[in-house]
Amino acid sequence: MMDEQPNNLEFKIDRSNLYSEESFSDLKTGTIKRLTPVKADGSEDKSRKTIFVGHTSILTPNGPLPIQNNIPAKDLQQAIKKFPEVMQAAMDQLIEEVKKYQEQEQGRIQKPESGIIIPGR
């Protein structure tokens, strides 16, 4: 029901946690985003660290599946170097989550409705 949804959502920007975003892509494999911390006036905030995030997609029978992961790097060159291992780790984690989900679903299908076993059923 719509009545259960909060009607007073607060769309307030956290002025102390702003980032400027730049994207770098080879137009084939993926994209690295550099998130530079900035102050509310737009000037760089040197008291916080720059964040790098890798993005890529893998093709599946149901279409492209986006994958992203933080890249622990000090600069863009280091982020580019670490991109393959970080994306592989994100994909491995996704595969593990899918396997767990499939096992849970398989367990639900095979579980009897009751713990009582009745002969002939």
Asked whether residue 3 is assigned to any structural domain, the reply reads no
Whether 76 maps to a domain, the answer reads yes
Domain that holds residue 100: 15-108
Domain count, the chain: 1
In-domain check, residue 4: no
Residue 114: C-alpha distances to residues 102, 108, 117, 120 (Å): 22, 12, 8, 15
* Reported pTM: 0.75
pLDDT score of 112: 55
Taking only the tens of pLDDT, the chain with its 121 residues reads 455 566 788 899 999 999 999 999 999 999 999 999 999 999 999 999 999 999 999 998 999 999 999 999 999 999 999 999 999 999 999 999 989 998 888 877 665 555 666 666 5
Please tell me the distance from the alpha carbon of residue 38 to that of residue 53, in angstroms, as a whole number: 17
CA angle 17, 89, 51 (to 5 degrees): 20
Q: Where are the beta strands (DSSP E) in 39-114?
A: 51-60, 63-71
Q: Is residue 120 part of a domain?
A: no
Whether 121 is in a domain gets the answer: no
At 117 the pLDDT is 63
**pLDDT of the residue at 16:** 95
